[in-house]
Amino acid sequence: MQQPDPLSTTFAALADPTRRAILARLARGEASVKDLSEPFDMSQPAISKHLRVLERAGLIEQSRQAQWRPRRLRAGPLRDIADWVDQYRRHWEESFERLDDYLRELQDIQEQGKGADDDRDQNRPG
Amino acid sequence: MTATRIDRGSNEKTTIYSDGGDLTFERTFDAPREQVWKAFTDPNLVPRWWGPHGTTTTVVEMDVRPGGSWRYVSRGPDREEVTFYGEYLKVDPPKGFEWTFMFDVEGVGPMGGPETFTFEEVDGKTKVTSVGRMGSVEALEGALASGMVKGAVETWDRLEALLAKG
């Protein structure tokens, strides 16, 4: 791999508050560099630099329709990250729920004094 | 803990928070510590609880010692397969262990990092704490910021509200 993985690029792009604010603005609809630089008290070149980072991360793109080449949001990379975090969270939240059920089942079996099908190195008084 | 601890959607049973670049899950189970240890380290027991509801898991490899590899293949109700894998870094029965936790995300590639599990016995119950190191604070913040917009990426108004908080 010659380039960092796509998710790292997306993370790096999202780590900056100005860039998150730019994405928030673009979430309302496409906008020109001039529009985007207004609320930030930043020069247009400074904003352009942030836009390039966002563009490299695939988070925004330039519309080729209009003369002023407005920027607009792209959903793909955000969805990738959202999916990853979602899968991770869901994995542990639900695994812990199932583990809880399983351990309860074991306790019940032990309390009834029957032996579970697995090991028994804990001799809990019934 | 420290002031940087931020709740990440805890529910009544599980506490979930981030602290720096770490994402922590805490839950107390009504079982002795030895049993919890076994549930995590016995290849016959892992399939009974691993993965979201409706998941069937096969333990392909599980060598519970430092440097040992592990690999589980899970099949969800949608029949989609996810492989989890990594390497044990520290093993301290029954107090806990550390491993690398990786899984492949479609279109992205392998994601994950080191994860530490601590098992503490409290009044016959066991408190399990898992800490996943997601990398830098920025990486985790970025991930969570967008993780919370799940389902909202098409709804730009909601995305806007969320990003504006950043």
| A63-77: pLDDT as tens digits | 876 677 888 877 777
* Number of folded domains that form chain B: 1
State whether B145 and A20 contact (CB < 8 Å).
Answer: yes
| B86-133: pLDDT as tens digits | 999 999 999 999 999 988 766 666 778 899 999 999 998 999 999 988
B84 forms beta bridges with B72, B103
A79 CB neighbours in chain B (<8 A) are: 153
**Pairs of residues, one from chain A and one from chain B, whose beta carbons lie less than 8 Å apart:** 167
CATH of the domain at B54: 3.30.530.20
What is the number of other CB atoms lying within 10 angstroms of the CB of residue B10? 12
State whether A93 and B36 contact (CB < 8 Å).
Answer: no
The answer to the question of residue B24 being in a domain is yes
Which residue range forms the structural domain that includes residue B32?
Answer: 6-135
Residues of chain B with pLDDT under 50: 1-2, 147-166
The answer to the question of residue B84 being in a domain is yes
The answer to the question of residue B86 being in a domain is yes
Structure tokens at B100: 């690398």
pTM given for the model: 0.69
Residue type, A5: D
The answer to the question of residue B140 being in a domain is no
The answer to the question of residue B96 being in a domain is yes
CB A92 within 8 A of CB B24: no
Q: Which CATH class is domain A6-74?
A: mainly alpha
